[in-house]
């Protein structure tokens, strides 16, 4: 017999109790054949119980991972493995939140062995209807990660792979024109609250580089070379539950670690900040919070949202700055691969699909092409 297989089932009627015994030999995963026995009031009942026991035995459980474990229990086991994984802390937080908020309510009482593409499709459809497309997509990613972990322990395949993908509703990317970028910066500089929050310089830096808001908040004096006119993007700001804000010493992906040439207006601003002794935050972060601490990307997003609404640009978000940089470089004739390098995308297709290859250093030509975006009116 093969490992995990069982032999012929035989039955024995016990006249004393009136019950029926079903028994079969099972070849365990150490190669040893062992008898497995179950009783029932009838042959059919005894056989059903025996086959269920043999199925569980063949599942080769590892610790608490079994085909019979409920998804709610498996989530706890998966979290322990997730903490030891190589995933970025922010990604782990997103997966854990999606599992807690969407997967557990929808599938928590389902057993791992009961997860099928049909069951998963139904659950994710309900999440999409009740919570929206993005929560459903997040739930699918978290559940796929959980099932991938379960494959290594208890189940034979990942059923999420065969479930129906949840398409993302792509919106047409809208970018600022150079005139709009200059006007937006002029209005920011004239807004007292925006100035107090140091948003004008931060926005100029993002418009001149296309970096993510967490990457901009993590720029330190140590990664700036004002003589060479470059910045090394090699970190981001994250919030760790129970710890608080910290500088993550690597970016979102390997491709996100890059050296960018800075446009002249951005260099002028950075030199001025250094010349006047503008305070820096922990580890020398350039764009610290108003209290001199690390800048929280989420809080900065909220501050920026309120300010943009107030100054007449309600359709603009921090992501619009990245799309604007991509569009500007595209207008200037740079290839999709070069634009992906500037934005820190691992795949140029992401740049093409969502914002309209990889190099360690972006050319100074990029900085010249972005100079009018970063110029203040």
Query: Alpha-carbon distance 52 to 259, whole Å?
Result: 59
Is domain 178-374 in CATH 3.40.50.12780, yes or no?
no
pLDDT band at 85, cuts 50/70/90? Answer: confident
More confident site: 157 or 3: 157
pLDDT in tens, 158-211: 999 999 999 876 666 688 999 999 999 999 999 999 999 999 999 999 999 999
Domain boundaries, the chain: 10-58, 71-162, 178-374
Average pLDDT of the chain to the nearest whole number: 89
Residue 88 has pLDDT above 80, yes or no: no
Query: How far apart, in whole angstroms, are the C-alpha atoms of residue 127 and residue 53?
Result: 34
Best CATH choice for the domain 71-162 from the list 3.40.50.2300, 1.10.150.130, 3.40.190.100, 3.30.470.10: 1.10.150.130
DSSP classification of residue 250: S
218-263 residue pLDDT tens: 999 999 999 999 999 999 998 887 788 999 888 877 768 999 999 9
Here the contacts of 245-251 (C-beta below 8 Å, separation 24 or greater) are 245/293, 245/294, 245/296, 246/294, 247/218, 247/220, 247/282, 247/283, 247/285, 247/294, 248/88, 248/89, 248/90, 248/218, 250/88, 251/215, 251/344
Has this prediction a pTM greater than 0.85? no
The CA–CA distances, whole Å, from 295 to 226, 266, 303 equal: 22, 19, 11
């Amino acid at each position: 017999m093969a490992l995990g297989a069982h032999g012929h089932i035989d039955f024995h009627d016990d006249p004393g109790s009136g019950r029926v015994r079903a028994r079969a030999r099972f070849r365990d995963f150490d190669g040893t054949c062992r008898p497995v026995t179950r009783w029932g009031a009838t042959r059919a009942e005894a056989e059903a119980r025996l086959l269920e026991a043999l199925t569980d035995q063949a599942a080769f459980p590892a610790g608490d991972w079994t085909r019979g474990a409920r998804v709610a229990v498996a989530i706890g086991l998966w979290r322990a493995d997730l903490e030891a994984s190589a995933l970025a802390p922010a990604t782990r937080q997103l997966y854990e939140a999606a599992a807690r908020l969407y997967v557990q309510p929808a599938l928590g009482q389902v057993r791992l062995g009961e997860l099928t593409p049909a069951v998963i499709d139904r659950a994710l459809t309900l999440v999409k209807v009740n919570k929206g497309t993005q929560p459903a997509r997040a739930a699918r990613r978290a559940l796929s990660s959980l099932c991938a972990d379960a494959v290594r322990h208890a189940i034979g395949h990942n059923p999420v792979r065969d479930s129906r993908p949840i398409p993302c509703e792509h919106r047409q990317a809208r970018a600022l024109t150079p005139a709009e970028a200059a006007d937006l910066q002029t209005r920011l500089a004239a807004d007292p609250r925006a100035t107090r929050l140091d948003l004008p310089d931060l926005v100029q830096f993002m418009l001149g580089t296309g970096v993510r808001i967490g990457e901009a908040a993590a720029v330190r004096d140590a990664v700036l070379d004002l003589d060479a006119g470059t910045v090394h993007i090699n970190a981001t700001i994250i919030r760790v539950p129970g710890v608080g804000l910290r500088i993550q010493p690597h970016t979102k992906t390997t491709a996100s670690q890059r050296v960018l040439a800075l446009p002249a207006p951005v260099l002028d601003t950075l030199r001025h900040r250094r010349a006047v002794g503008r305070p820096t935050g922990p580890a020398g972060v350039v764009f610290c919070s108003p209290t001199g601490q690390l800048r929280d990307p989420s809080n900065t997003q909220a501050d920026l949202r309120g300010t943009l609404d107030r100054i007449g640009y309600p359709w603009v978000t921090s992501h619009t700055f990245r799309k604007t940089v991509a569009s500007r470089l595209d207008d200037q004739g740079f290839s999709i691969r070069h634009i992906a390098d500037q934005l820190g995308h691992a795949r140029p297709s992401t740049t093409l699909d969502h914002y309209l290859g990889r190099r360690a250093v972006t050319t100074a030509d990029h900085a010249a092409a972005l100079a009018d975006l970063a110029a203040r009116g």
